[in-house]
Chain A
């Protein structure tokens, strides 16, 4: 029944999916936190930039962003991420760049909702003892905000894991691209799709369960 799996590096393809996910998750967490800080900062220009970034990027389909990163950024503007004559590496880096840019907007919004759960009194007290804006954010507000948005962030992470499949559109050899190859050769669409669907469930289900449990544990009880 599953003999069509022979001769294909399914694990290798999923390893590529994992790599894309991990790099993009770390990147978008950093960029998303920065954006969230911008959106709550007292500087109007920063607030404006953060708001504009989130609203623009969030409303462009990921496929468009990823394909543009390859056909536009790389081919026309020469942004090859230091891999101009190695398409495999170039595709991977461009995919991570696109995934980071796209999911940072979602991370930012999740975090901002977390910042809104922190009572205003906390920030006022921090200001009263003489902390600067960035100290207030770093030491008082963000730690509490993060603890309350672990579950929404887990949602973003699960979406990100599945969204890595779009990288197949620019030739990154991850799970979805191997799936295309196998369907092309084997004429076993349903079984192959089921195997890959199962593979993604194996990746995302524990993520959701563990982070859900962690979110409950760490939530600030008010």
Chain B
């Protein structure tokens, strides 16, 4: 009897917990009028990706995504001092937009069909490709060189799945919790290559502590169209951001941002993509 009561009680608690998490999105009144004078704008970025979105020791942020976000916010009528950057990890991005925690997200956010059902995308503003980071003296030059080699990527990431499914199913794939750990394994020789988007790898390779140790293999293993995520149905904001991105490319700011963030890594980046053109 006691058993049954306990089980019933816990089932009730579980049901409550699930509904509580599922319905945890309160309708925040989003006062997102673009011509706001004194308001703040919240933007989601990554905090841990050098070259794209990285928190500096002094608390400020640097990287290509950050520069794009700052430029777009300026076009929407916000000064840099009015921007509040919020960390949106990969798994939180859709929810952060749905809940209205952030106005938009610029965080290596690849446009995919699954994600399009949940959020709207402006852009793309950068075309990246899955690539390999190898030691400077490595002779890996094409995807098939990888079978039998040891690769590292982040648990659950699209890059890791691509390796297992298509690029090199016979490769030994090691999955760790972050790219920093993978780079440590590459440095100690425990793996032969680290794989993810070339833009992210370039950022890591350009860090002072790794200067000259690694290079990009230059394989275009996939197309990652980085877009700016916006709450589903907020077409007005999407259009404004698209206009801002077009302006960023035409007035040379895009080129400046790319040069500033990727130059040290010798990263052969793609030319600025056309708005709305998604390379499959």
Contacts and interface: CB of A to CB of B under 8 A. Distances in A.
B138 interface: no
Contacts of A201: 10, 14
A205 B188 contact: no
Given A180-B155, A198-B14, A85 B172 contact: yes
B175 A187 contact: no
B3 A189 contact: no
B250 interface: no
Given A87-B173, A87-B174, A209-B6, A74 B190 contact: yes
B95 interface: yes
B146 to A, nearest CB: 14
Interface of A: 67, 70-71, 74-76, 85-87, 91, 168-171, 177-191, 193-194, 197-198, 201, 205, 209, 213
B166 interface: no
A170 to B, nearest CB: 6
B136 interface: no
15 contacts: A74-B190, A75-B190, A169-B155, A177-B155, A180-B156, A181-B160, A182-B156, A183-B91, A183-B156, A184-B157, A184-B158, A185-B114, A186-B114, A189-B95, A197-B14
B176 to A, nearest CB: 6
Contact of A67 (B3, B18, B21, B177): B177
Given A87-B150, A184-B158, A189-B94, A177 B175 contact: yes
B7 A189 contact: no
Interface in B122-164: 150, 155-158, 160-161
Given A74-B190, A168-B155, A187 B114 contact: yes
A190 B17 CA distance: 11
B10 A213 contact: no
A151 to B, nearest CB: 13
Contacts of B21: 190, 193-194
Given A67-B176, A71-B190, A180-B157, 19 more contacts: A71-B181, A75-B184, A75-B188, A76-B188, A87-B150, A169-B176, A170-B176, A171-B175, A181-B161, A184-B90, A184-B157, A185-B158, A187-B114, A188-B118, A190-B21, A190-B95, A194-B21, A201-B10, A205-B7
A27 B196 CA distance: 37
Interface of B: 3, 6-7, 10, 14, 17-18, 21-22, 90-92, 94-95, 114-115, 117-119, 150, 155-158, 160-161, 172-177, 181, 184-185, 188-190
A190 B174 CA distance: 27
> 5 tightest CB-CB pairs across the interface, nearest first?
A180-B156, A171-B175, A75-B190, A169-B177, A181-B156
A177 B94 CA distance: 19
B10 to A, nearest CB: 6
Contacts of B161: 181, 184-185
Nearest to B3: A209
Interface centre among A177, A180, A188, A209 (most CB of B within 10 A): A180
Interface centre among B92, B158, B175, B190 (most CB of A within 10 A): B175
Contacts of B18: 194, 197-198
A27 B226 CA distance: 47
A104 to B, nearest CB: 24
B185 A71 contact: yes
B177 A75 contact: no
B190 A180 contact: no
B94 A187 contact: yes
A98 to B, nearest CB: 14
Contacts of A170: 175-177
Nearest to B25: A190
Contacts of B155: 168-169, 171, 177, 180-181
